[in-house]
Structure 1
């Protein structure tokens, strides 16, 4: 019928490539939605475009380009039997799969880098640990590129026939394992620092869970290894690469998606914007320090939010009446306020029959360290 678009592919018993196309564009759709959410929240939170945003954007574009390579690979023969392909189609298939490997490695490297930059922007790390993590990611990416480039003989390294390649395709294993290990490390490396933050346990757990979602990529990489092991030495590679292609798409796009999940949390976004400040004491970073040491007069005190557990009261007056508010009243009103925007003032909470003139709140905090430290580069 006129006006109808031709199908991207026809699924048959001898052609399962269209499933790869469906998978590729499904991942593109999900990744783009996550990217829109990330930058939409950034605009709402009035966050600037930082280096982690740049690397995430690059990762997203590279993942989309990788999906396009899979589409072309399917048109050239991915998912069909080798004997059914012409030499021209087979040559295009090899080149597209070869290019897709580079794009996938670059997308995952950018996603990992974005995760490191994001975590450092929210919870600053020690410079040595920070640069060590970036070096590990760079080392994996460099090794992976070289392994792909030289796994088969020159001058046609893209012609991937494991039985004829000097490496027999076995270099795919260290690439996948390295990716798995770096993602696992990224998921847990920030946990010790988060655990020492001056925030309540619930928020610490939320932060750790959000960064820990990167373990999903590691689990997908395990499936990728199994699929590669089952199909690597098949003589019919265009047919056998169907399964590994699906797993590789999942690993690449999950790597990009998990790089931005922490930014979807409003509390973490407020930390990165500077509206909330995380302060670590040296006592927390170095548990062997004597906490009883008193500060010198010129050192600033450690500022903390007032505790709701102390006994306190405040006078609230209006033109008509004067009331004494207890700590229980404050707990109720602060619980009401927690559901509103973080920046909304509480000055009108007691406005019942008049206007609040003034309320003062004083909190005394014992110093636990000679010099409080704000960990921020």
Structure 2
């Protein structure tokens, strides 16, 4: 077909050869859910301790999560552009213009995706540092953050030059390195980072003296939910390796076979954001009252980080906790 032909504009009917609408609906639902998590966290912070809403109540992790949501929006829009260009449709039915549009949208979504993951992990690490843990835990968190930045640089460099110049985005038409090995590295390393964050956050909580064991176990469970990311990552890599096998056997149809892989990418990204917000959900925070021990949390931490206005208005003394 002529390269001057416009991008395809498929209908909304879902068929075995046209599954793009499934991707579109799924990724926007996941994005909205993670967005609601970020909004809920920010509003909980803004409304704490008084009826007055002030941006001064927000902390650096709130701004990092807001940036993460912007990156997630860019990723979601890019994937939606992939759908418009032919994602979920057999490759042989696409025009040259559609293939080029698909490749460029996929290229942009991959770059934004790794940036969003790094930002979501950074927000969790910043939260851990704001709890003012021991020096060993601080070093552990900072080392994890440094490792995360190195991972981001390596991932961006790999994505940026994954295919032969001058068209490094030409995933379907150019000579590219082994995508399976690269993305296995990217996802496995991100999982290792999440595991490290989970371990240190649980260790920090475990070192605190709380009024009831239930509170400590609940917080540990909340922080441990980050390990659940292994499920969508495992499925994503499974689909990716299966798609690679079809390439080796000559039955390669990447635009049609990437549907599940792309949906799982959205799940991983938005779940990472939602999990970072989970400790600040209002219902959870209220269930933690009276929460932190006044003897184990440094001044300013227990109240400012994890406690809502109901704590100040309750009958529990603030004692050593400084606002």
> Given the two structures, how large is their TM-score scaled by the length of structure 2?
0.80
2:141/2:197 contact within 8 Å kept? no
- Could you tell me how far apart the structure 2 residues matched to 1:191 and 1:58 are? 26
2:12 aligned with 1:9: yes
Residue number among 233, 242, 246 corresponding to 1:221 in the alignment: 233
- Could you tell me how far apart the structure 1 residues matched to 2:289 and 2:59 are? 15
- Could you tell me how far apart the structure 2 residues matched to 1:96 and 1:158 are? 9
Structure 1 or 2, whichever has the larger Rg, is: 1
1:244 is aligned to: 261
Please show how residues 1-377 of structure 1 align to structure 2 within 5 Å.
Answer: 9-46=12-49, 48-122=57-131, 124-126=133-135, 127-161=138-172, 164-167=175-178, 169-199=180-210, 200-233=212-245, 234=247, 235-264=252-281, 265-266=284-285, 277=294, 279=296, 341-344=310-313, 346=315
User: Structure 1 168/129 Cα, relative in aligned 2: closer, same or farther at 3 Å?
Assistant: closer
2:5 is aligned to: none
1:224/1:247 contact within 8 Å kept? yes
- Where do 5+ consecutive residues of structure 2 fail to align? 1-8, 50-55, 299-308
User: Structure 1 206/278 Cα, relative in aligned 2: closer, same or farther at 3 Å?
Assistant: farther
Bigger drift between 24-33 and 108-117 goes to 24-33
More helix by share: 2
- Where do 5+ consecutive residues of structure 1 fail to align? 1-5, 282-339, 348-360, 362-373
**Aligned length in residues:** 286
Deviating 4+ runs (over 4 angstroms): 267-272, 275-278
User: Structure 1 267/165 Cα, relative in aligned 2: closer, same or farther at 3 Å?
Assistant: same
1:207/1:268 contact within 8 Å kept? no
Greater RCO structure (CA 8 Å; 6+ sep): 2
Cα deviations across residues 222-281 of structure 1 (Å, max 9, x unaligned)? Answer: 111111111135321111211210111110110111111011132699899xx9746269
1:45/1:270 contact within 8 Å kept? no
> Given the two structures, how large is their TM-score scaled by the length of structure 1?
0.69
Instruction: Tell me the CA shift for residue 125 of structure 1.
Output: 4.6
Bigger drift between 121-130 and 49-58 goes to 121-130
2:286/2:310 contact within 8 Å kept? no
Bigger drift between 131-140 and 105-114 goes to 131-140
Cα deviations across residues 197-234 of structure 1 (Å, max 9, x unaligned)? Answer: 12132211121111111112222211111111111353
- Could you tell me how far apart the structure 2 residues matched to 1:269 and 1:164 are? 55
